[in-house]
Structure formats: C-alpha cells, structure tokens
Amino acid sequence: MTFVAKRRLFAALSAAALLAGAFALAPTPAHAQDAAPAQAAPAQAAQSDASKFVQELGDRAILELTDKKISDEERVNRMRAMLKQSFDEVAVARFVLGTYWNRATPDEQGEFTKLYETLVSYTYAGLFKKYSGETFQVLRERTVDGDTVVYAQINQPAGGQPIPIEMLVRNGDGGYRAVDIKVEGISMPLTHRKEYASVIQRNQGQVSGLIKILREKAAQLEKGGAAN
Amino acid sequence: MRIAPLSCTLLLPAALFAATLAPRAAWSAPVDDVRAPMAMPGDEFVAQADVSADVDMDDDNDPLEGLNRGIFEFNLVVDSWVIKPVAEVYRDVLPQEAQDSVRSFMRNLRTPVTLANNLLQADMDSAGNTVARFLVNSTIGILGLFDVASDLGIPYRGEDLGQTLAVWGIGDGPYLMLPILGPSNLRDTTGTVAEWFADPVNLALDNNDLEWLIYVRAGLTGIDARSRSIDVLDELQRTSLDYYAAIRSLYRQQRANDIRNSRPSDDQGRPNLSDAETSSLPDDIVSFRPSR
C-alpha cells in the first residue's frame, strides 16, 4: 500500500468515525422540523368541492385509522366503512378485473367486489396502523374529462420528504367518489390489476380460480387480525 | 476489478446494440410514450381491455418469467434469512438521524454519477440542483452527513443511467429478476452495471487497493434502502395473492415515475416546476380511468 493509499484509507476511516461520532453529538436537526410547517401553510385557501372531498377523506383516514387505542378488527371495520362510503367500489373492481370482468358471471362479479373490499380494507388498515402524527394536505387539482385528479401529500411528523398522493375522484349520483389512488406515483388498483391477471393466467384463465384464492386470502386475513 | 473498464465498455454497447435490434413490439413503451397523453400502462388497458386477455400477458414483457420466478424465490429466502434481519437491526438499533445520515452520505457520494446523468439527459435544472446540493451538503452538511440542502428547499432527485437511457428513447426491455439485487429489466441492468464500473468513487477506491470499501458502500446503501421498505413490503406480501407479479408491477410503475421526474414532492415551493401541472406532462398522473 502506498503512502497515498494509506492517507486515503485514513481519510475514509476518519469519515467513518465522524459518521459514528456525529450521531452522538448531533441534536435532532432543527431545520428538519422547520421544513414541514413552512410547506403546510398555502393549501387551505379556496377549495373546490372535489378538493374538499379529498381533504375530508384524508383527514378522516388519518384521524380514524391511526388511532392507537382501537383494535385491529375495529381499524379494518373503519377502513371498510370508508371504502363503502367514499369509493366507487364497483368501478374500481371492474378496473382491477379488467378484461376478465366481462367473462365473469354476475355472481362472480359480486363476490369479487366484496372480497376485494375485504382485501383492500386489511391492506390500508395495516399501512395506516404504522402512521403516527402525519397530516394530510390537499395541494391542487386538475380536471380530466369530467373527473378530477386531486394532488395531495402526507406530511411526516419528523420532517423529511412529504409523501405525494394523487386521488382520482368522480362526481356521481351520491356525490363524490374516489376511483383511484396513487401513492408516490404507484397506483394500488393498477398493481392489483396486474397481479390478479397473473393469478388468473396461472389458473387456466379462470376467474373462478382467482376468486377461490381470494376467498382463502380473505379468510386468512380475518383469522390473523389486521396486522402482524 | 482490474478489467472493469474493459467489461464496461463491452457490455454497454452490446446491450444498446441488442436494444436496437430487438423487435420493437417485444419491448415495452419507450419513454416518449409515457410522456404522451393517455399512454400510461393502465390506459393501454382501458383502451384494449375488451379486446383480448392476452394483452395483459404481453404487457408484462417477462419472457424469462420461469427463471425470474426461480430467482425471486431464491431472493426471498436470502432476504428472510440475511438481508431483512440485518435491515431490521439497522432500523431498530441506529437512531433515525444516523440512518438519515447514512443515506445522505451515500447520496452525496453518488454526486458525480447523478450529475453525469443530469447532463446526459440535458437536464440543466437538475444538474444545477445536484451541484447546489453537493456544495451545501459537503460543507455545511459535513461531508454529506446531513442533508441541509433538502431543508433549504433543494430536495434530492435521484438519477441513474437506466433513466438516462429511457430518456434517450430506449425501451425497458425484458423484465429481469436479479439475484440479491432484485427487480430490474435489461435497460436498467445495463445502467447499473455500467455505473458500478464507471463511478469515479469506485474507481478511486479500486485504484488505491480499497476495493472492499466499494462493497461496504454498496452493502450499506442496500441495507439502508431495505430498512426503509420493511413495513410496506411486509404488508404487500401479507395481502398479495401473487407477490412476484405485484413486485413486477410496482417496479414498472416506480421506474416510470422516476423517469418522468414528476413526483409532486419535487415541486413543492418550486415555481419553475409547477408547469408539470399545466404543460408538458399532460396526463402524467392518471394511471387509468375506470369506465363510467
């Protein structure tokens, strides 16, 4: 090893030592906390009905689902109630089944919609359980062919990058309903659509194959509680 | 490692060559399509949904699915026995500030690669962002240990060669499940390999007989990333019917999102980016629109 190499090794090691030492010394970086409130201010101005709907939905989700005092079962029930009330469940189920929706019998369509609701309830209940102190903030919106995309974010209590949310809402007979939600650019219904198409293909193209597996998964989740 | 530059120069053109030769249809949509109105993956589906069930199969562009699934199973075993337990210790033992400093330090080390990609994409705004972050974080942020720049309103924007190739119009190619490294595709794998060998920090370490530090760096970066996805992946695995297919879809969506640089989190308080709302990225956000 040359002298230069040794010196660089030393530099690298001191960096590592510094790395270790800095944590012991560094207070919680104050700037990290300044950042979030600074961003939190502008949104609440004049909101459209669509934005108001999404803001209320987000607030309700955080208020009801992050409650540490409730049981896992109660958390799932609350999520399910929100799905029923604020989501266009049939539109989402149709999208998730995609081309297979029309191949399914009405009974299968109905059962799929119900099982999917159960699965999504457990999924979101499990995710929200980990939350604590987050806030939901609508930023802006955009209209696309009669539907509205509402851009929002979840602000994290310890600072850090807010989590971007996009919700697609539709104004129907019963008021606004959500039909898609994207978290950090990733759509859960789209992911399920791809996943379930794969399941159906691996079951000889039979929707009944998917439904059987969904039933088992739902039973397993109901037995196991809302989160591990 | 000594032959590294050689293999790098061989691999990249070879892969690019393969990319141009391969029948276009076998590759998924080039990025131009992603930027075009209504060309998100989901939209293709809405348009074609009633045509044929085979659409879904083609769109996955996963000709090596059998092999990929095998590697995925292997990865799950390695993950559950080694990677995840280490990531859990990392997450539970190190204070959050320490974990953030690891990530910040590693990101700062990546500056040359990120900047090169900004320039290769002719994205001067991001290049300025990268330089500004490096100057602030390397000084006030003490060698990159503290991400002061983010707090000053200059958030991190990741770039890699896979994204650059995508911006150049190269499709993502067949989906690949890499051992240990996880989901990828031919284009992104090419980018990863080339970056590994071309990264100036790695080259400097290698030239000074500190090759082991290259692996420490890669390992720490990986563990940090894994530790941040423990909860989400656990939840996904618990509720998924076909974990492999779910991960495949997530990877696709995540990369499309990275390539678009359209994370709303990036344009907070940055007026120059608010045009994402109005002009050039018309339907970047709507993944699909269920039929009425």
Question: Is a pLDDT exceeding 90 seen at residue B175?
Answer: yes
CB contact under 8 A, B150 and A19: no
CB contact under 8 A, B42 and A193: yes
Give the pLDDT of residue B49.
34
d(CA B156, CA A160): 11
CB contact under 8 A, B245 and A91: no
pLDDT tens figures, B237-269: 999 999 999 999 999 999 999 998 754 433 332
**Average pLDDT rounded to a whole number, residues A107-115:** 96
Q: Quick one: how far is CA A173 from the chain centroid?
A: 26
Contacts of B235 in chain A (CB under 8 A): 123, 126-127, 227
Supply the pTM of this predicted model.
0.75
Read off the pLDDT band of B44 (50, 70, 90). very low
B101: nearest CB among A23, A88, A163: A23
pLDDT tens figures, A60-69: 999 999 888 8
Phi, psi (rounded to 5 degrees) for A68: -75, -15
Which DSSP string do the residues of A124-180 spell out, in sequence order?
A: HHHHHHT--S-EEEEEEEEEETTEEEEEEEEEPTT-SPPEEEEEEEEEETTEEEEEE
Contacts of B97 in chain A (CB under 8 A): 23, 26, 28-29
* Paired residues of A171 in beta bridges: A176
Read off the pLDDT band of B133 (50, 70, 90). very high
Query: Is-contact A144 A166, C-beta < 8 A?
Result: no
Query: What residues have CB less than 8 Å from B23, skipping those under 6 apart?
Result: none
More confident residue, B45 or A139: A139
More confident residue, A128 or A116: A116
d(CA A34, CA A147): 35
Give the pLDDT of residue B262.
55
**Average pLDDT rounded to a whole number, residues B177-197:** 96
**Average pLDDT rounded to a whole number, residues B124-141:** 94
* Paired residues of A165 in beta bridges: A152, A183
Question: Is a pLDDT exceeding 70 seen at residue A226?
Answer: no
Question: Is a pLDDT exceeding 70 seen at residue B27?
Answer: no
A15 exposed, middle or buried (CB, 10 Å; 0-12, 13-18, 19+)?
middle
The side-by-side arrangement of strands in the sheet containing A147-155 is A135-144, A147-155, A163-172, A175-183, A186-187
Q: Quick one: how far is CA A60 from the chain centroid?
A: 14
Amino acid occupying residue B223: I
> Would an 8 Å CB–CB cutoff place B229 in contact with chain A?
no
pLDDT tens figures, A185-201: 899 999 999 999 999 99
Lowest mean pLDDT among B3-12, B80-89, B177-186: B3-12
A195: nearest CB among B98, B246, B262: B246
Give the pLDDT of residue A48.
85
Residues of chain A with pLDDT > 90, as a percent, come to 57
A164: nearest CB among B49, B264, B289: B264
Read off the pLDDT band of A46 (50, 70, 90). low
Q: Which residue of B has its CA nearest to A20?
A: B98
Lowest mean pLDDT among A123-137, B82-96, B120-134, B160-174: A123-137
A195: nearest CB among B55, B94, B245: B245
As a three-state string, the secondary structure of chain B is: CCCHHHHHHHHHHHHHHHHHHCCHHHCCCCHHHHHCCCCCHHHHHHHHCCCCCHHHHHHCCCCCHHHHHHHHHHHHHHHHHHHHHHHHHHHHHCCHHHHHHHHHHHHHHCHHHHHHHHHHCCCHHHHHHHHHHHHHHHHCCCCCCCCHHHHCCCCCCCCCHHHHHHHCCCCCCCEEEECCCEEEEHHHHHHHHHHHHHCHHHHHHHHCCCHHHHHHHHHHHHHHHHHHCHHHHHHHHHHCCCHHHHHHHHHHHHHHHHHHCCCHHHHCCCHHHCHHHHCCCCCCCCCCCCCC
Pairing of strands B182-185, A186-187: unpaired
Phi, psi (rounded to 5 degrees) for A128: -70, -25
Mean pLDDT of chain A: 81
CB contact under 8 A, A186 and B257: yes
Query: What residues have CB less than 8 Å from B190, skipping those under 6 apart?
Result: B11, B12, B15, B16, B161, B162, B165
Mean pLDDT of chain B: 77
Residues of chain B with pLDDT > 90, as a percent, come to 64
Give the pLDDT of residue B114.
96
Give the pLDDT of residue B80.
96
CB contact under 8 A, A170 and B94: no
Identity of the highest mean pLDDT range in A7-21, A108-122, B275-289: A108-122
b/e map of A174-184 (b: 16 or more CB within 10 Å)?
eebbbbbbbeb
CB contact under 8 A, A168 and B289: yes
Pairing of strands A147-155, A163-172: antiparallel
Contacts of A15 in chain B (CB under 8 A): 143
Q: CB-hemisphere CA count at 13 Å for A69?
A: 2
For chain A positions 136-175, those within 8 Å of chain B (CB to CB) are 139-140, 142, 144-145, 147, 149, 151, 153, 158-164, 166, 168, 170
**Average pLDDT rounded to a whole number, residues B157-164:** 94
Question: Is a pLDDT exceeding 60 seen at residue B52?
Answer: no
Read off the pLDDT band of A16 (50, 70, 90). very low
- Answer left, alpha or beta for residue A156, where phi above 0 means left and psi between -120 and 50 means alpha: beta
Q: Quick one: how far is CA A135 from the chain centroid?
A: 14
